[in-house]
Structure 1
Amino acid sequence: MEFELTSELINEIVFSMEDQNEFYLLDSCGPVLLKKTEVSNPDSDRYYSLPVWDSISGFKLMEQFVTALKNALVADKLRNILSSGKGVFRNFKNVLKEYPEIEKQWFSFKEQKMKQVILSWYNDLRDFWGLEHLGFEPEENSELVQDDFVFRSFQEADRNTLRASVDSAVRDINENYKGESGSVLALLWEKQREFENDKKSVILICESVSEDFVGFAAASYFDEKGDCRQAVLVTSFLILPQFRGLGLGTELLRKTLQELKEKDVKKVFFTDLLIPDFFYSVLVREGFSRIGSIFFIDL
C-alpha cells in the first residue's frame, strides 16, 4: 500500500530506527509508526519494516564522519576512540561535547546520512509500486557559519586576544617543526607581521555568537604612497584549531577580500608561510594565482 514520505514522517522513522530497544513497523494506512508488539497481524501488506539500523550501522557512520572531518585535532581524538574497542559510543559523544561546533556537524552529518538510508529504502518501495525514484538534495553547512559566527572589524579591546592567539600559534609552529626550523618559521612570521598596523591594516575578527574568539585575518599595505599603494600582504591568517574544518577559513578569506576590494585594493598577496596544504585549493577556487611560493589575486 502506497504512502507519502513527508519530512515529518522521515523524522519519526529516524527516531524509531535509533531506538535499539524496540522494533517498529510503518502502518501505511496512517502512515504511522507502531511497535511490532502492538500489531496483531504484522504480515499484512499495510505494514512495512523499517531500514535496518543497529550498533554496527552506527559505528560505520562514526567512521565515515571521522574520515570526512577536516579538523585534524578532533579527528585524531575520535579515531583513537573508535580503535579503542571500549565505551566507543559514549566516549565519542563525550569528545564531541567538548567541541560544540563539531558536535553540530556530527548531528547534521548523521541526520543527512540517515535520511539517505530512508530515501533509498523508500525508493525500493517505489520500484515495487511502479513509481519513479525521488531525488535527494544534500544540506549545506553554510548555514552553520552564517548563524553561529560573526565577522567584524578589529577593535582596541581585541589587542590582547590577538597577541595571545599569535603567541599560541608560534608555540604550535615550534612544536610541529622542531629545532631551528620551527624557530626560523616563527621568526619569518613575526617579521612578516611587522607590516601590520592597527590603524592602517585591514583586520577582521571571527567570533562565535557568544563572542568567543575564533580567529582573525590581517592584510597590510607595503607602501601607502609608492607604486605598491594598492597592494597588500595577508600578514596573519588564523583559525583556532578547535574551530577548523567548519568552512570558517574560506568565509574569513572571502570577507577579507570583499573589504579590501571596497577599499580599492588591486592586488592581494598571500605567502606560502601561512597556507596549509589543504587551503591551496581554496585560494585557487577564490581566484588566486601562484608565483613560486607566493599567491596573489587581482581585485
Structure 2
Amino acid sequence: METVAYHMPPLTEDLLGSIIFAMEDQVSDYFLDLKDGSLISEEEMRYLEEDEEAEESFSDERFVSIPDWEPSDGFHLMEMFANRVRNPLYRERLLSCLNSGKGVFRKFKDALGELPVLERKWFSFKDEQLKRVVITWYREQEGTLGLLKLKEDVEDLTEDILLEDFTFETFEGTPSSEIEAFIQIILEELENGREQEGLASLLLSRRFESEMPQHYQLARSQDGNLAAMLAYIPLTDAVVEVPFFAVKQECRGLGLFRLLFDAFSRQMARFHYRTIIVNLAGSAVSLERIFSPFSAQTATKQMVLSTSTWNSNHPSSEEAFL
C-alpha cells in the first residue's frame, strides 16, 4: 500500500474557531483529520477504523490530537485576566471569586455579569489566549506553512465595545445637580486618598470656588448614570483648557477616559480650537504617558515637597551670615 504524505491544512479562521470549541468540550477528545482538514471525535475515529471500506485510507499519521485544555487551564486563564484588571474593585472581586473554593467558575461568571463591558473584555481576552495556544500547537506540528496572519497579542478593549456600552454627550451652562454631585464625589475620594491626592482635592476645590466650568463632555453607562466627565474652559479662540476630568471608580481601567478625550479632541478641532491644555492632578499625573506619544509638551508643573525634607537635606542659607 502506497504511503500517503499528510500535511497540516491551512489554519483558517473557521478551523481555528472549531479547534477552540472542541478544546473546551470536556466530554470528548478530538483529532484533526489531515485528509480533509476537519475535526473528528475519538468515538467517530473508532467507527472509521472499524469501517472495512475505509481501511485502506486509515492511518495513525492521518490524525493529530488537538491541544489539551483542562479545567485547570481555564482557571489559570481566569486568574491571569483578574490580575490584569486595572480597576481595584473588580480585580479584588474577581480574585475573591477564584479563591472562594467550590463553584469558582459560576461565581467568576456572575461577577463579570455585573459589568457588561468587563465581561466583553474577558471574552476578548479568552479568545485571544486560546488562539495563541492553537497557533503555537499548529507551528509545532508543521512550522509556519499555511499559517494565516492571525493576531497573537492580547488586545485591549476595542473602542467598538466601549461604544456599545457607553454614550457620549456635551453639556453647556451652569452645572446640573447631577454634575455637581459627581464632582463632589470625586473630590471627596481624592481628599480621603493619599497625601498627593488630598492636595489635588484642595487645589481643585479652590479652582471650582473661583471659576466653575460651564462646558462638559460626558459619558453615560447603559443605565443612564454618569460614568465619566471632562470639564473644559475656552481661553482664547484657539486654546481650550481642561481643568478637571474623572472616571467613576467602577468604570476605571476600561479605557473609557481615552475614548472620552478622543471624542472631546475631535469636537474641539471642529470648533477650530488648535491647542488643549490638560491639568493633571493627584493619581491622574500618571496619565502623562497617554499624551506624551502625541508630542505633548509640559507648559507648567506643580511640585509638592515637605518643609522638613528640604530643611533636613539642604544646607541652611542662614549659616552664610554666621
TM-score of the superposed pair, with normalisation by structure 1: 0.80
SS of the aligned residue for 1:33 comes to strand
Kindly report which structure 2 residues correspond to 1:127-166, keeping only aligned pairs within 5 A, or say none.
Answer: 127=143, 131=145, 133-137=147-151, 138=153, 141-154=158-171, 159-166=176-183
Q: CA deviation at 1:205?
A: 1.2
Q: 1:34 aligns with which of 11, 26, 40?
A: 40
Identity %: 26
**What is the letter of the counterpart of residue 37 of structure 1?**
E
Partner residue, 2:68: 52
Tell whether the 8 Å contact from 1:26 to 1:48 is kept in structure 2 after alignment: yes
Find 1:15's aligned residue among 21, 24, 33: 21
* Secondary structure, counterpart of 2:110 in structure 1: helix
* Aligned ranges 1:198-237 → 2 under 5 Å: 198=214, 201=215, 203-208=216-221, 211-221=224-234, 230-237=238-245
After the TM superposition, which of the residue ranges 273-282 and 18-27 deviates more from structure 2? Answer: 273-282
Is contact 1:216–1:238 with CA below 8 Å preserved after alignment? yes
- Out of 109, 115, 119, the residue aligned to residue 93 of structure 1 is 109
Contact 1:205 1:216 in 2 (8 A): yes
State the 1:291 CA deviation. 4.2
- 2:53 paired residue number: none
Which amino acid is 1:26 matched to?
A: L
Evaluate the alpha carbon distance shift between residue 209 and residue 76 of structure 1 in structure 2; reply closer, same or farther with a 3 A threshold.
Answer: closer
- The verdict on how the C-alpha distance between 1:192 and 1:43 changes in structure 2, with shifts beyond 3 A counting, is farther
> Which residue of structure 2 aligns with residue 176 of structure 1?
193
Report if the CA contact (8 A) 2:11-2:148 is conserved.
Answer: no
Match of 2:291 among 277, 283, 290: 283
Shift of 1:47: 1.7
Question: C-alpha offsets along residues 106-125 of structure 1, whole Å, 9 cap, x if unaligned?
Answer: 00000011011111112222
Amino acid at match of 2:291: L
**Deviation for aligned residue 1:97:** 1.0
- 1:233 and 1:269 in contact (8 A); partners too: yes
Q: Does 1:246 align with 2:246?
A: no
Q: In the aligned structure 2, how far is the partner of 1:91 from the partner of 1:209?
A: 23
| Aligned residue in 1 for 2:208 | 193
Q: TM-score, normalised by structure 2?
A: 0.75
Amino acid paired to 1:143: D
Q: How far apart are the structure 2 equivalents of 1:106 and 1:192?
A: 39
Secondary structure at the counterpart of residue 176 of structure 2: helix
Q: Check whether the contact 1:196–1:235 (CA below 8 A) recurs between aligned residues.
A: no
Q: Deviation digits for residues 82-114 of structure 1, max 9, x if unmatched?
A: 344443322221211111111100000000110
**Structure 1, gaps ≥5 residues long:** 223-227, 295-299
Q: Which of 261, 266, 269 in structure 2 is aligned with 1:258?
A: 266
For 1:239 and 1:255, locate their aligned partners in 2 and report how far apart those are by CA, in whole Å. 15
Q: SS state of the match for residue 19, structure 1?
A: coil
Task: Write the letter of the residue equivalent to 1:193.
Answer: F
The answer to whether the aligner puts 1:63 opposite 2:63 as a matched pair is no
User: Bigger radius of gyration, 1 or 2?
Assistant: 2
SS of residue in 1 equivalent to 2:281:
helix
Distance 1:267 1:283 in 2: 13
The residue that corresponds to 1:225 in the other structure is none
Letter aligned with residue 238 of structure 1: A
Q: How many residues align?
A: 282
Cα 1:250/1:268, change in 2 over 3 Å: same
* Structure-1 separation of matches of 2:175 and 2:63: 61
- Which one-letter code corresponds to 2:145 in the other structure? L
